[in-house]
Amino acid sequence: MTTINEIVINFHMTEECNYRCGYCYATWEGNHSKAELHHSFGDIESLLLKLADYFFAENSLYHILNYTSVRINFAGGEPVMLGKRFVDAILLAKSLGFRTSIISNGHLLSDKMMKRIAPHLDMLGLSVDTADYLLAQSIGRVDRKNAWLSPVRATEIVKAYRLANANGTVKINTVVNAFNWREDISSLISQLRPDKWKILRVLPVYSTNLTVSERQYASYIKRHDAFSNIVTVENNADMWQSYLMLNPQGRFYQNTDTCNGLVQSPSVLDVGVGAALEHIDFNADTFAKRYNTAPLKVSEAS
């Protein structure tokens, strides 16, 4: 039997985002902003209750993975754009017994917002692709005013989180793409001192925009070998069918194959968790292996 500490459900609360990353695949065919569940707290409550009823009880995934805890990871788009609705969802999830985390571009994580959510977050996840402003512009990691998450501001956010939650975990997500694969951000990672650093290779869900070769990706990993003790490598093969993901309408969805888009289930609110899961291909073994992935070696790359 495969055993993991926790199973993670990524709830993408909204498609809205203040950034325009060129590789983004957080768009869902048929999703309309007015239909996103966050417009009704009752719908968010119903979704989280159904998830709790399913994942905190014996179920088929529990028998495969033998997990001991369940974490809801709030993502987007950019979930912090939802303000109070985002905060209320975190507090509700925590009250139901879920471990909680977010993945954010950090741009809207003001001091006020951090004080509200940090004590209730088991993990703070920041998307940090670059320490260079021009590269951030090229990737699309800027808002309409061309403002970005600078290294200084990222460091301030992490510091505020740790002050408010001494037991919390900090994770950095970096997507290696056509613009940043030559960069060395060792200095920034040393400043942030994350507990985990996930380095992902651009996933061509809808297009090959900003993709990198195996060798380019491997060279980025090698360049940051000093952080191998905290790095998790996620090449494309590691990501296919290995995430439990819910879109803003409460539908499970899954990556299919290169440039083939996504497969979506009916809404959990309509059919329940178990029935919705039957509509997607989820590879529990690959999910478990993502937490034990060895770094690439340049000599192995083609």
Residue 225 neighbours by CB distance under 10 Å: 11
Q: 219 vs 13, 186, 212, 301, CA distance in Å?
A: 34, 14, 11, 9
pLDDT value at residue 2: 66
Q: How far apart are alpha carbons 299 and 215 in whole angstroms?
A: 9
Mean residue pLDDT of the chain comes to 90
Phi–psi pair at 217, nearest 5 degrees: -65, -45
Contact between residue 94 and residue 100 where contact means Cβ atoms under 8 Å apart = yes
pLDDT value at residue 8: 94
Does residue 288 sit in helix, strand or coil?
helix
Structural domains of the chain, with CATH: 6-300 (3.20.20.70)
pTM: 0.91
Q: How far apart are alpha carbons 140 and 148 in whole angstroms?
A: 9
pLDDT value at residue 249: 96
Q: Of 42-56, 199-213, 265-279, which gets the smallest average pLDDT?
A: 199-213
Considering only residues 208 and 300, tell me which one the structure prediction assigns the higher pLDDT: 208
Considering only residues 33 and 192, tell me which one the structure prediction assigns the higher pLDDT: 192
